Structure 1
Amino acid sequence: MVLSPKPDSRPSTSLSAHLFSQVNVFSAQPLAGNPVAVVHGADRIDEAEMAAFARWTNLSETTFLLTPTDPAADYRLRIFTPDGELPFAGHPTLGSAHAWLAAGGRPASTGTVVQECAAGLITLRQDHDAGRLAFAAPPLVRSGPVDGAEVDRALAEVGLESADLVDAAWVDNGPGWMGLLLRDAETVLRARVNGAITSDIGLVGPSAASPADVEVRAFVPSLGGPEDPVTGSLNAGLAQWLMGTGRMPGNYLASQGTALGRSGRVHLDRDPQDPDTIWVGGECVTVVQGTVHLPAG
Structure 2
Amino acid sequence: MARARVDMFGSSPGMGSALDVLVPDGLQPWDETAVAAHARDTDAHETALVTSCAERTFETRIFHPDGESPFGTHSLAGVAAHLVASGRLRPGSDPVARSTPDGLQRVWTDGHRVRVPFHGPAVHHGVSIGPGLVSRYADRAIESGVGRRFTLVRVDEDPRNLPAPDLRLMRESGLSDLTLFRWDRDRRHVSARVFAPGFGFPEDSGCLPAASALAVAVLSLDPASHGVPMVVTQVTARGTASVFDCVGSVVGGTADLEVAGKVWAVDRW
Report the TM-score, using the length of structure 2 for normalisation: 0.79
Contact 2:115 2:259 in 1 (8 A): yes
User: Secondary structure of the equivalent of 1:99?
Assistant: helix
Q: CA deviation at 1:167?
A: 4.8
> What one-letter code is carried by the residue in structure 2 that aligns with 1:161?
R
Other-structure match for 1:132:
113
**Bigger strand share:** 2
Other-structure match for 1:206:
183
Query: For each residue in 1:32-75, what CA deviation from the matched residue of structure 2 results, as whole angstroms up to 9, or x when unmatched?
Result: 1111010013783254443333222253211012225xx99521
1:238 matched to 2:214? The reply is yes
Other-structure match for 1:264:
242
Q: Number of matched residues? A: 257
Q: CA deviation at 1:108?
A: 7.5
- Picking from 52, 69, 79, the partner of 1:96 is 79
> Cα RMSD over matched residues?
3.3
Other-structure match for 2:156:
184
Q: Distance in 1 between matches of 2:72 and 2:105?
A: 11
Report the TM-score, using the length of structure 1 for normalisation: 0.72
1:216 matched to 2:192? The reply is yes
> What one-letter code is carried by the residue in structure 1 that aligns with 2:24?
G
Determine which structure has more spread, i.e. the larger CA radius of gyration.
1
- Report matched runs for 1:113-124 at 5 Å: 113-117=96-100, 119-124=102-107
* 1:233–1:189 distance in 2 versus 1, CA, 3 Å: farther
User: Secondary structure of the equivalent of 2:89?
Assistant: coil
1:19 matched to 2:17? The reply is no
Where structure 1 has 5 or more consecutive residues not aligned to the other structure, the ranges are 1-17, 291-297
> What one-letter code is carried by the residue in structure 1 that aligns with 2:240?
R
Other-structure match for 1:15:
none
Q: CA deviation at 1:212?
A: 6.3
Q: Distance in 2 between matches of 1:185 and 1:127?
A: 36
> What one-letter code is carried by the residue in structure 2 that aligns with 1:231?
C
- Report matched runs for 1:1-297 at 5 Å: 18-27=1-10, 29-41=12-24, 44-67=29-52, 74-107=57-90, 110-117=93-100, 119-126=102-109, 132-137=113-118, 139=120, 143-148=123-128, 151=129, 153=130, 155-157=131-133, 159-162=134-137, 165-171=139-145, 177-180=150-153, 182-186=154-158, 189-194=161-166, 196=168, 197-198=170-171, 199=175, 200-207=177-184, 213-244=189-220, 246-247=222-223, 248-250=225-227, 251-270=229-248, 276-290=255-269
